[in-house]
Structure 1
Amino acid sequence: MVLNQLTVFFIIIYVLESVTVIAESSFMVAVLGREWVQVKRLSSVEMILTSLGICHFCLQWASVLYNFGSYFNPNYVFWNIAIIWEFTNILTFWITSLLAAFYCVKISSFTHPIFLWLRSRILRLVPWLLLGTLMISCVTIIPSVIRIHIRMQLVTMGHLPRNSTLFGRLNMFEQYFFRPQTMYMLLIPFILFLASTVLLMASLIQHREQMQQHNSGHCNSSLRAHSAALRSLATFFILFTSYFLIISIHLISEVFDKRSWFWLWEAIIYAIVSIHSTSLILSSPTLKKILKMKHW
């Protein structure tokens, strides 16, 4: 296969992004794992970040193996790796939504009884919620396993005429059932993420407006902290929303012949993942402390 210069450029960008994501996720898991070994405990946020680091690590390796394998040697054997990618992608969506919901419950100033009840129990619930996201991902990936099995059956029945009734029914079932089902699996945790982030930003804006009525130095420092938190939330919101939209377009574009733009899509997707991993590292005091020590 002869590659043009633009394709080679996007492949190089994708490889650099993949190395970055793998290095960042390995750093997160190694540092937080050492912290757990030393003190025999992790905070709720660190447990969520460790889970996200593991997901990003597996997601990126699955992406690399599937993309290079299926692009340069199209074979249905690589579709099994696609199941691993899809599973870790769904799990990443759920854990990211859990992180947003955790911050919303702990930081927001809402006094509704539901928020007060969650705030008093969220620390004990995090391990169970992480286990719940794993179980939900395992259940929701089952239709994708069936979908891959159907695609393999379509390949093995490739000698049948294209207008074969059985061939047409299997192809239609995959197109009109499994593709929307994949979107719904991502849409549910994404809505949870949107709701949590918007509520938290609304709470911080409301609190900041209340503090603006005071002019003390302490209030000024609190205002700066709130402004920094809002900027971080806005960045996090834009990154994850962009990732969801890009993944959605990527799923829809499978209907069309987009092979010439394949590596451009992959470079765009994992540029967002790389920036997301960086923002997660910078959001953790433990990880930032280690980075400063390594820098000095």
Structure 2
Amino acid sequence: MPGKVESTLVLIATGEFSVGILGNAFIGLVNCMDWLKNRKIASIDLILTSLAISRICLLCIILLDCFILVMYPDIYITGKQMRIIDFFWTLTNHLSVWFATCLSIFYFLKIANFFHPLFLWMKWRIDRVILRILLGCFALSVFISLPVTKNLNDDFRSCVKVKWKTNLSLRCRVNKAEYASNKIVLNLLTLFPFSVSLISFLLLILSLRRHMRQMQLNATGCRDPSTEAHAGALKAVISFLLLFVAYCLSFLIATSSYFMPETELAVILGELIALIYPSSHSFILILGNNKLRQASLRVLWKVADV
């Protein structure tokens, strides 16, 4: 039976999960209804919907792992079940990061003001290739996740449960080190899309500065539609960057826990932090998107009337 601390942590995780599902499901539902109504979907809506679906799956995997660790830890006695959870966690993690990076790039190409030929060519082509880019991100995420299914031995879970106070065999130390190193390497691959998002963010800032300087020279107001678009895109990208940093820290906590006592408790704490990223960023995206913001206000008004 779980203790009071574990039960409290699971309750908090369930609350974070519910909030995240609500926000991401709202994004997906609004965009899918608009798709069915207009028989077509805009590129930005396609990216947001794909991102929302990937984060719903990520939230489900994290909460499932949290429940298993607390309520049914014996399920992980063999490595098979753990391999399944790890595969889908790695897959949805990479999908979420890559789709968020696609969103950052799309904002940059559509909003920034540069006159370099390569930028103008990408700006013109992005709408035509966005579906292929998203499918490529999915294929790449599956390829990256496949090694996870091969790095767990059948006795790994029993090694995870070994505490420092007991005699830790060499085999258990090797199993733990191999598992942790593989997890770290696979998740370090997310640094590439993170770096791309960071570059997009910096270029958006540069574009906004140039735009503001040009408006000052022309003696016009500073809150025109282009400025508003820059500001909204910057908020969406920087919120992703900051939340993803917190998410990476939670992963380090969960991974390093395999070398510490009270493994399950440390993993759950890491998962609580991890849930913040896919849960809260959805609401930032809703507030930054005019269609989603208006739809959310209509829902709130109907709820208030009831």
TM-score interval for Structure 1 and Structure 2 normalised by the shorter chain: 0.7 to 0.9
Ranges in structure 1 where 5+ consecutive residues have no aligned partner = none
* Cα offset, 1:129, TM superposition: 0.2
Residue 126 of structure 1 corresponds to which residue in structure 2?
A: 130
After superposition, the Cα gap between the structure-2 partners of 1:111 and 1:13, relative to the gap in structure 1 and judged at 3 Å, is: same
Ranges in structure 2 where 5+ consecutive residues have no aligned partner = 161-167, 302-306
After superposition, the Cα gap between the structure-2 partners of 1:263 and 1:50, relative to the gap in structure 1 and judged at 3 Å, is: same
SS at match of 1:212: helix
Q: Which of these residues, 263, 271, 277, is aligned with residue 276 of structure 2?
A: 271
Q: Which of these residues, 60, 64, 87, is aligned with residue 83 of structure 1?
A: 87
For the residues of structure 2 that align with 1:86 and 1:179, how far apart are their CA atoms? 9
Residue 210 of structure 1 corresponds to which residue in structure 2?
A: 214
Conserved in 2, the CA contact under 8 Å of 1:25 and 1:57? yes
Residue 103 of structure 1 corresponds to which residue in structure 2?
A: 107
Return the TM-score normalized by structure 2.
0.82
For the residues of structure 2 that align with 1:202 and 1:88, how far apart are their CA atoms? 32
- 1:1-296 equivalent positions in 2, closer than 5 A: 1-4=1-4, 6-74=5-73, 75-76=75-76, 78-79=81-82, 80-147=84-151, 150-152=152-154, 154=156, 162-163=169-170, 172-176=177-181, 178-217=182-221, 219-221=222-224, 225=228, 226-227=230-231, 229-257=233-261, 258-296=263-301
* Cα offset, 1:35, TM superposition: 1.1
Q: Output one character per residue of 1:58-95: Cα deviation in whole Å (capped at 9) or x when no partner.
A: 11111111111123222225412232122111110111
SS at match of 1:141: helix
* Identity score, percent: 28
For the residues of structure 1 that align with 2:194 and 2:252, how far apart are their CA atoms? 12
Q: Output one character per residue of 1:228-254: Cα deviation in whole Å (capped at 9) or x when no partner.
A: 554454334322333334334433444
* Cα offset, 1:10, TM superposition: 3.1
For the residues of structure 2 that align with 1:286 and 1:198, how far apart are their CA atoms? 26
After superposition, the Cα gap between the structure-2 partners of 1:234 and 1:181, relative to the gap in structure 1 and judged at 3 Å, is: closer
* Cα offset, 1:2, TM superposition: 4.7
Aligned-partner residue type, residue 143 of structure 1: P
Q: Output one character per residue of 1:153-179: Cα deviation in whole Å (capped at 9) or x when no partner.
A: 645999xx9346xx7765554344x13
* Cα offset, 1:223, TM superposition: 8.2
After superposition, the Cα gap between the structure-2 partners of 1:195 and 1:35, relative to the gap in structure 1 and judged at 3 Å, is: same
SS at match of 1:203: helix
SS at match of 1:17: helix
Aligned-partner residue type, residue 38 of structure 1: K
How many residue pairs are counted as aligned between the two chains? 287
After superposition, the Cα gap between the structure-2 partners of 1:25 and 1:228, relative to the gap in structure 1 and judged at 3 Å, is: closer
Conserved in 1, the CA contact under 8 Å of 2:97 and 2:190? yes
Conserved in 2, the CA contact under 8 Å of 1:87 and 1:141? yes
Return the TM-score normalized by structure 1.
0.85
* Cα offset, 1:111, TM superposition: 1.8
After superposition, the Cα gap between the structure-2 partners of 1:116 and 1:188, relative to the gap in structure 1 and judged at 3 Å, is: same
Q: Output one character per residue of 1:197-255: Cα deviation in whole Å (capped at 9) or x when no partner.
A: 222222212322332334334x4445862555544543343223333343344334443
After superposition, the Cα gap between the structure-2 partners of 1:142 and 1:45, relative to the gap in structure 1 and judged at 3 Å, is: same
For the residues of structure 1 that align with 2:60 and 2:35, how far apart are their CA atoms? 25
Conserved in 1, the CA contact under 8 Å of 2:27 and 2:48? yes
Conserved in 2, the CA contact under 8 Å of 1:101 and 1:193? yes
For the residues of structure 2 that align with 1:192 and 1:288, how far apart are their CA atoms? 27
After superposition, the Cα gap between the structure-2 partners of 1:231 and 1:82, relative to the gap in structure 1 and judged at 3 Å, is: closer
